[in-house]
Chains A and B, each alone.
Chain A
Amino acid sequence: MTPEIIALLIFTLTYLLFISELVHKTVAALIGAMLMVAYGILSYNEIGSTIDYKTLTVAIGMMITINVVKKSGLFEYLSIKAVKITKGNPTKLMVVIVLLSTLISTFFSNITSTLILGTLVISLCHMLDLDFVPYLVIIAISVNIAGLLTPISSLPNIMVSAAAGLSFGDFGLNLLLLGILLLASTIIFFMFFFRKTLTKRISREEIDRLKQLDENKEIKNKKLFTRSCIILGLIVFFFLIQDVTHIGNEAIAIAGAIIMLLLSSADPEEMLSQVQWSTIAFFIGLFIVIGGIEKVGLLDKISYLLAEHISSLLSAMFLILSGSAISSSIVDNIPVTAVLLPILKNLNSILNISGNFLFYPLIAGVAIGGNITPIASPANVIAVGLAEKNKKRISFGYFMKAGLFLSLLHMIISTLYFSAMIYLQFGSL
């Protein structure tokens, strides 16, 4: 067997292990990495060059920062405050939940965001005698969509921005409007789709119960709360003025984390132990596997093959958008991004495209794809799990009915958006 075939077999094995859930995804990625070295596809000296340290630095930095913020109770405080504004109106509550999901998932991982909001929403729905199942679906879908807004709002974004050098400004300029359009369409879609739950009348007693919620109770440590708010604000500020300072995402994320540990009075030992090291190991394994197939030239071949069949930028955009959406509905969006990133880098140079345009449909595609099935993203799995824990069921069909239609709508909006972007940036379709 040639090294090309062996590398392809190892790559397929790793991805099938992800899909089949035969072993934990981190173990699967590490098995793939080990095989790449054991079969001589990569030497020990080459391993280092395959790992994207910028991605790892941003991920670790943000995880430390978020661990401290989580301990302060800031987002729980904000959630209760926002929910109280709705005065128990189910439609207003849905809009607030979509907005809160967007805000929280900008900083937290999808899993944490769904857990924070999901737990809050279940207790709120019990209080208002509402069915919490639609709200859990709303949270999962909003969290996935909000993942495309900033370079730190999802792990695939961290990878793309590290590889393509995208800043907060680039995201704001190229994806913010799309994000707003998608979220607005999501709200309208939910209003129609969950109209039964959203038009329920809430009694005065139920509203009174809601008013009794005390957001201040969520602040466990006032000193930690104030300091983490200030430092998080500063980190966001530095991300926003990145195009002026030219400081990389990784530098801001890790410096922010160190300052947070230094000034927040949180226990560094505890905060560091709460970093999702399994995700970091997963990244390392995945980078080595991708490095292996890149070394034997498989990704170059795929890029040239694609370039031969791509007739215009419009077709390239549609292929990337739909391809990434469909594949990330089957496989976790991190491995999808990992394999598509080097292909897109090659395509960019083969097709001689100026700028980073091709990376934006990828970011949108993996975010949209996460909504198609209840197993397509960790947020969906958590939402389903939360429902089961509270003796309700979100069936595969129920989730897909909402997710699939919404994803199709999002695909149409994204295609139109990126077509307009091509026309404005490159002068023709």
Chain B
Amino acid sequence: MGDNNDKEFLDEFDIDVKRLIKHLVQFIVIIILFNILSTFFRGKTILLFEEIISLEIILLILFGLLSLPLVGRLVADTRILIALLSSFIIKRFPGMTQEVHPLIRIFRDIVYIIILFLVSVPAIPLFSQYMVFGYHVTHIVSLLLLALLVVFLYDLSKNIFQLTHGHLKEAAAHFLKIMDKLNKKK
């Protein structure tokens, strides 16, 4: 069962990474293209609406507008990847696979966040004592803890959203109903 889930995750992860890389390459190509083109326009100006404007700036705006949808896609890809990675990592921690109320899940996320802080207190100074490796090990440990912190914060936000989303929707529907009634009365 677990192996199946892991295989599913790896397949999905593979597709997402490929998509992210594809969009990233497209984005890099656009940047390189902009760099090459901008050399031709460097120092050149144009008179537009009685204002002297640099052609390089116009090119930057054009490329910016062209690459905006791509940036959006990149952000969306990263979000999906983080969601996938976080659920993959989080389910390795005890009590995080159980079907519990989102509020309990929020408390569990906070528990793990506190544990990360408590682990960082002795762990970071412990490695820094060793002159040669210490510096690098401290960095690796700090980054690892930070990555885990991001994962738990993401899960926490997701659960808070899950908990409040339904209620907010209900409240909005209720509010709309009241407004509707008031309008009909008028």
Residues on A facing B (Cβ under 8 Å)? 1, 6, 9-10, 12-13, 16-17, 19-23, 35, 39
Contacts and interface: CB of A to CB of B under 8 A. Distances in A.
B118 A35 contact: yes
Given A9-B114, A13-B114, A22-B95, A1 B121 contact: yes
B161 interface: no
B140 interface: no
B111 A10 contact: no
Nearest to A8: B114
Contacts of A20: 95, 104, 107-108, 111
A39 B95 contact: no
Contact of B118 (A10, A16, A19, A21): A10
Looking at A9, A19, A22, A23, the one whose CB has the most chain B CB atoms below 10 A away is A22
Nearest to A18: B107
B115 interface: yes
Contacts of B108: 16, 20, 22
B121 A13 contact: no
B41 interface: no
Given A20-B108, A21-B104, A23-B95, 16 more contacts: A1-B117, A6-B121, A9-B114, A9-B117, A9-B118, A10-B118, A12-B114, A13-B118, A16-B107, A16-B108, A19-B104, A20-B95, A20-B104, A22-B108, A39-B118, A39-B121
A88 B167 CA distance: 45
Interface string B99-129: 0000010011011001101100110000000
Contacts of B107: 16, 19-20
Secondary structure at the B interface, as helix, strand, loop or mixed, is helix
Secondary structure at the A interface, as helix, strand, loop or mixed, is helix
5 contacts: A6-B121, A9-B118, A13-B118, A16-B110, A22-B108
B94 interface: yes
B128 to A, nearest CB: 16
Interface in B28-87: none
Nearest to A12: B114
Looking at B95, B111, B118, the one whose CB has the most chain A CB atoms below 10 A away is B111
Nearest to A35: B118
B118 A6 contact: yes
Contacts of A23: 95
B31 to A, nearest CB: 42
Interface residues of B, number: 13
Contact of A13 (B94, B111, B122): B111
B86 to A, nearest CB: 18
A39 B125 CA distance: 14
A39 B114 CA distance: 14
Nearest to B93: A22
Contacts of A21: 104
Given A21-B104, A22-B108, A16 B114 contact: yes
Contacts of A17: 111
A208 B95 CA distance: 51
Nearest to A396: B101
Contacts of B114: 9, 12-13, 16
A22 B118 contact: no
A22 B94 CA distance: 8
Contacts of B122: 39
A16 B111 CA distance: 6
Nearest to B117: A9
Contact of B115 (A6, A13, A19): A13
A327 to B, nearest CB: 14
Contacts of B110: 12, 16
A13 B121 CA distance: 15
Interface string B121-145: 1100000000000000000000000
B111 A22 contact: yes
A243 to B, nearest CB: 44
A42 to B, nearest CB: 15
A19 B115 CA distance: 16
Contacts of B104: 19-21
A17 to B, nearest CB: 6
Q: Nearest 10 A-B pairs (CB), nearest first? A: A20-B107, A22-B95, A13-B114, A20-B108, A16-B111, A16-B107, A19-B107, A9-B114, A20-B104, A1-B121
B69 to A, nearest CB: 42
Interface in B14-35: none
